[in-house]
Structure formats: structure tokens, C-alpha cells
Structure 1
């Protein structure tokens, strides 16, 4: 069975962005590693386009399906997603005629699950589901949201878990999420394997070709902190701006690089201005995935603040592992199980509480100890190479695929024999 080369179809929820075409795990595992093992991988994702487009990206065929903007209305959103799903289903049927898929895998979407289940049942192939975030069952705490939208979201959430139970296998993003799915949603523990974030240590390593970037951002002779990620209000990133404000009072030659974009970026810029940090907190905007190692190499210390709310507590932060692969010590908050586990096991950073004082103390401690920065950076890289290499994770996924296909077809063969014996 392991000699067979698989034809894998991946349905991705994230809107296509040419600068950052998919999440790092998708790019590395499904764009590079699995194709390098000889498997054929096809991605389908939505995009702000008018007609279906095919692209060749990394080593996969990528199909982008038109998805209209739905703004704030959940009703319009559902209508647009149904329309997109119909186009998606028709495309998959057409693709399957030319080259039969062995596996279909969906990610973070009720509508992708529906399409996958239909394909799985009609074409008799295994369906896997990857889930990287979980919405709280009761979202009625928000007073400024439309009650109809909230009700529709709640119904969608209920429907979501009913559909997940029909998946042949599930990849949650963390061990904590697996526990939640088993205990709270009564899913079968035997068909769940946590798939946390990893890193491509062959691409993420300390870069020395960064002099131009240093000059561009005026970073010479400074201790540099870095944050990489989406900037939205729910992440409470004002915490690190305020912590840096206190650091700056004690160590003047320091800078904070903020890499990324999001609806909360303007508020963070405004806060930096109010605190007289506008020349020291540098917002670069979104950076192409291939350039991120260079930006991390500009820094001395990586910041990984994750707000300990219901959704983020189950997360697995990519930024933490990317910092570590580039030999940068990490300051992260212990309320997130994944951060606490990785930093404790690796020795690649400092654990603090999720408040500005704790982050400030951690930042000061590392900024004043060059030897500790070097030691923790080395520990971190060694650990991620041994434990979180995407290539290693891709081999585990490949193993699960083969086991699942073998079990899937064995079960179908038994059911067929049983049906024939009855007749």
C-alpha cells in the first residue's frame, strides 16, 4: 500500500492572497512536502475574482473559486457560500473524471464539509477534516450584534459539529482542542490526531543578508523585538506596545517591529503615537512568506502574546516556532497550553503572564542578557528541528492517509460482501 502515490484534494477556506497564498502549514505540507514524496496535490480555495482561475503554485494545481463579498450580513454570507460551494462541487466532479482522487480533506468550513461528504459518499473515498479554531457555542455576550445573525451563527455551529462526526478522520490543531472535541462534542478519540503548527527549518534559519533591511528600518545599534501576526482587536496587542513603552524608558536603544496587517493596525499605530513611540514601533505591513525569515533575523527577541480567550487557548502559534527556528528566544504567555509546553520543553524562551507588566519584565530580562539570548536561541532551533519539522509532520500525515485508505476500503469491502450475502 505504501508504494502507491496518492491523489489528494484539499479544500481550503482562506481567501487566496498572492502575497500569502495559504497558511504556512498548508504551504509547507501540502504545497511542498507531500508533492516531494511523489503525491499529487490539488488545492481549491475562494478568491475575490469573477471566474474560476487555475494557477500553478509551489508543486500543486490551485483552483480559485469566485466568492462575492458579504460584508456583515450572515444571511448574504450563507447565500454567497452556497453559490460558491455549487461551483466548487461541479469543478471537483469535472476534475475527478480526469484523475480520480484518493483523499479529500477540508479545512475550517461547514460548506467545505458538505461538499467533501457528498464527494466522499458518491466516489467512495475517505474524507478528513482539519480544524484550527473553535467558536464558543454561546456567542450572545456581544451586545452590538444583530440577533438574527447570532442565531444563524449558533445554528451553523450546531450543524458544524454534526457534520464533523461523519468525517473519517480529524486533525485538530492542538491536544487541548482534541480533548474539547472528545469531552464536549463526543467525537471518537480513535479517529483524531492533533496536528499543531510546525516550521520549515530549511527555510527558517538565521539570515545574514539583511543589511539593506536594517538600513531601511534604521535598526543599527538597537535591541530589536519582533511580533508577527494578524492585528485585530481580539488579540489585545496593545499589551506589547504598552510593555515596550516601559522597556524604552529603561533601555533607550530598542525598537519593536510589528509585521502583519489587520483591522486593528490603525489603533495600534495611534497608541504608538500617543506614547511617543511612533519612531520606535515600526509597522511593516504584510510581508511575503518567503521574506519572513529575513525579518525575524533583524530581531533579537520574538514576542508571542496570545490572548487567553476561549478560541485562542486552543491555538498553536506559528510565530513562536518560526522565531525559534531562526534562533530567536521567545517571550510567550503561559495561559496558552501550546506555548507553555513548547517553551518548557525546549528551553527556547521565557514564560510570562498575559499582562503588560509581565511582558515588560520578560523583555527587560532578555534585552539585558546577550548570553541568555544566544543560549535560548540555540536551544529553540535544536528543539523545533527534532520535534516540529513540517517534513516530519508530512510523513506522519502520509502514514495516516495510508492507514485510513486501507481501513476505509476494507470496511467498504466487508459491507459489500455482507449486502451480497443477504441478497
Structure 2
């Protein structure tokens, strides 16, 4: 039961992550999204509160996701045992556990809002619905559900199959949760199309891509001491941030950089992140004798990413394939907001939302020669870099921020209400 005080000094908005504060450890995009939206709401209304099943947090806390202490890593014995269990069985067991936890949501605390003080409730979409609809109904305010991707659909793309029960989950759990929303904010056009195919009213659907907090990436984050400590003086820095996962195609990026390095031995590639593909990429770097030119900086807290991006002379968005490129690259918007000349793939929404040779340079996915040629062009043309830097930053800071996306959602709610 949710107990509310009688009054509140300022208006606010409520944001719900329908799992615990320790969940979604590897799903940085989800935490970054709620941190961005809640920070934008706090700037507009004065307050914003982020609810998980075990606590309430502020936008300032959420940016240092995940909250709370993490469980220790599993032992090698447990990992070996887990490898013997078929993936679909492990998936089924995880789904059952998640369903049980979703039914145990019972926050019995006093929260700092009132019936008249809340502007809207926002909830991250999950396999099983959270308490968003109930809270929104109690307060008489709109519910916005944000969808990075329908869970069953996206998992299937990565090879996680749910025989029989996946169809039932999508129809009777995911669709039901989305139908309850006043606005279904989708991260990309592909996700929006899928949501509509699931039976969601197109009038509720809003394309709302991953965006940027201008107070993080739009300010001066340069660090001379960091640059010097990494030995980057007199170096031309190419940079990438993200997770070492197959779909990012980092092996292709290494081959591209190898071609660049043959022409410009002052070039350095910074890789900021970690993941299951890192070991293989490191071996590849060694085999190509690029160890002095490729630097693995490891995973960094999100709040520290801006200072590493500040080191880049050129920023790169990598991709293995242009096929089924359904996500909205957050790193692309971060690079542009930071004023970095950026190379991005001709894939998904990118060629539609961004102008080639104006906001950024586009390359053909998988074409090593084309990518290397574009990087060399950027390295040798200062005026081009300056133009892309200026235009890219202006574009993002005017219509690529979380504040912009929140206002867009509020306008749609108002428009739908009038009709």
C-alpha cells in the first residue's frame, strides 16, 4: 500500500523501474534512460522520484546505477553446472522467478508527493507489468511507458527462445501492460512498428529515441591531466565507448583502424568498455601488432564517460550489420552533444535522423576501405571536423535531449486528451 502525505511544496514526476535497485546490472541503457528522463523532470517540475521494488531514489542517485551492493560473482562450479542446463530451461526458470517478484511489489512507505503534486507517472517496460498503472490511477495522472524493445521479441533476436510460453507472455503480459499506458514511448521506428503489430493503438505510440543530458555531455569535460596520464600528447585519438558484444562488430573496427594506422602512425584507438568479446579483440590487436596503438581502458561508471569522450578527436559508432538494426545508439548522441566529429553506420534510423556530411559522416557497414577512408578524410580536414562538431552539437542540444523528449511526450498527452 502506498501512503501519501497531504501536500508537497513543488510538483514532481514519478519514475518506476519495475525491478529491484540491484537489477539490470548489465542493462546500462535502461538506467541511463530513467536517469535522463527523471533529471529532465526535476528541472521542469522541481522534483522527480525513481521507484524500484525496494527503494526510492533521486535522479542524482540513479545516474550511479545500479543502486546498492551487488551479489558476489558465481563460483566456477556453479557456472559449469549452469552450462549443462539448456538455455530455454534457464530462461523459463528466470521468467517464473521474475513473475513471482513482480507480484510481490508492495512498497509500504511515505513518499514525498501528493495527489495534486504529480504531473505524470513513467514506467520502464518489462516482461511483467509494474505498479505504474495502479499509481497513475490513484493519482489521476497519465502513464507513460518507455519501451527499448518488447522483451520476448528482442530476446528472440539474440537467440533466446521461449517455446510456446513466449507467445503467451507477449500476448497476455507485455501487450496488456502496454495497453494500459496513455503514451507508449518507443526507442526507434522498428520498435514502434512491433508495438503496433502487438495490438497497441497507433495513436498512443510515440517514437522517443535515446537522448542526452546536456548538463553531462554539453559542458566542458576536458581533462589535460587524464590525457597526459594516458600518454596521448601529440596523438590523434579515435574513440569508442560501449559493451564488447558481437553486434558492435569491434573486430571490423580493429581491421579499419589497422588500415588507418598504416597511413597515420600518430593515430590511437581508445576502447572504453568491457564485455564478453574483449578477450578475442585483444588477441586480434596483438596479432596485428597494434598493442601500442589500441588502448583498452575498461568499463567506466556512466558519470565518468563524458571526460573520456572529451579525449576523442574523432568518435566512432561501430556495427556488425545494417540488417535489423532496431536500437537507437545512445553513444552517437553523446558524441555529438560533446562536439565530437563522428563516424556512424548507414543503418537503422541513423541516416533518417542525421544528415550525412552535415551532422556526421556515414560509412557503409562492413566496408573496411570505406570506413578507413572516411576516418583519414576527417583526420586530414580540420575545417570538416570543426563543421561537423558545431552542427552535430547544435542539432543534439536543440532536439536530442531528454528534456526535449519529455516535452514531446507531454504535448502528445495533451493532444490525445483534446481528441
Q: 1:245 to 1:24 in 2, by over 3 A?
A: same
What is the CA distance between 1:353 and its match in structure 2?
A: 1.0
What is aligned with 1:177? 191
Report deviation, 1:370.
2.0
Residue 395 (structure 2) pairs with residue 383 (structure 1)? yes
Structure 2: where are the runs of 5+ without partners? 1-8
1:302 alignment partner in structure 2 = 315
In the alignment, what sits opposite 2:34? 26
Higher mean displacement: 201-210 or 55-64: 55-64
Q: Give, in whole Å, the separation in 2 of the partners of 1:172 and 1:119.
A: 22
Q: 1:64 to 1:152 in 2, by over 3 A?
A: farther
Distance in 1 (alpha carbons) for counterparts of 2:29 and 2:333: 20
1:229 aligned to which of 242, 258, 268: 242
Change (3 A) 1:128 1:310: farther
Give the aligned CA root-mean-square deviation in angstroms. Answer: 3.8
The counterpart of 2:351, out of the listed 340, 344, 364, is: 340
Q: Does 1:393 align with 2:409?
A: no
Deviations 1:151-205 (A, max 9, x none): 44444334423442333220001234324433x3342121111111222233314
Question: Equivalences for 1:247-396 in 2 at 5 Å?
Answer: 247-308=260-321, 313-337=325-349, 339-344=350-355, 347-355=358-366, 356-396=368-408
CA contact (8 A) 1:8 1:104 kept: yes
Q: 1:344 to 1:21 in 2, by over 3 A?
A: closer
Deviation at 1:94, TM superposition (A): 4.8
Q: What TM-score do the two structures reach when normalised by structure 1?
A: 0.78
TM-score norm. by structure 2 comes to 0.79
Deviation of 1:253 after TM superposition, in Å, equals 0.9
Bigger shift: residues 66-75 or 389-398:
66-75
Give 1:195-206 correspondences, 5 Å limit: 195-205=208-218
CA distance in 2 between counterparts of 1:320 and 1:134 reads 22
- The equivalent position to 1:11 in structure 2, one of 14, 17, 26, is 17
2:237–2:312 contact (8 Å) kept in structure 1: yes
- 2:50 is aligned, of 37, 43, 47, to 43
Map residues 17-166 of structure 1 onto 2, 5 A cutoff.
Answer: 23-30=31-38, 32-38=39-45, 40-45=47-52, 52-53=54-55, 55-58=57-60, 73-87=90-104, 89-91=105-107, 94=109, 99=114, 103-111=120-128, 113=129, 115-117=131-133, 126-134=142-150, 137=153, 149-159=162-172, 160-166=174-180
1:387 shift after superposition: 1.7
For 2:312 and 2:279, the matched residues in 1 are separated by 23
Change (3 A) 1:80 1:139: closer
Deviation of 1:221 after TM superposition, in Å, equals 1.2
The verdict on how the C-alpha distance between 1:286 and 1:97 changes in structure 2, with shifts beyond 3 A counting, is closer
Q: Which runs of 5+ in 1 are unaligned?
A: 47-51, 412-423
The 3 A distance-change label for structure 1 pair 175 and 300 is same
Give 3-state SS (helix, strand or coil) of 2:216's partner. Answer: coil
Change (3 A) 1:119 1:28: closer
Instruction: Compute the displacement of 1:402 (Å).
Output: 6.0
- Give the number of aligned pairs: 390
Residue number in structure 1 paired with 2:5: none
- 1:256-293 deviation per Cα after TM superposition (whole angstroms, max 9, x unaligned): 11112222222222221222222221111222223222
Alignment check: 8 A CA contact 2:147 2:185 kept: yes
1:204 to 1:40, Cα distance in 2 relative to 1, 3 A: closer
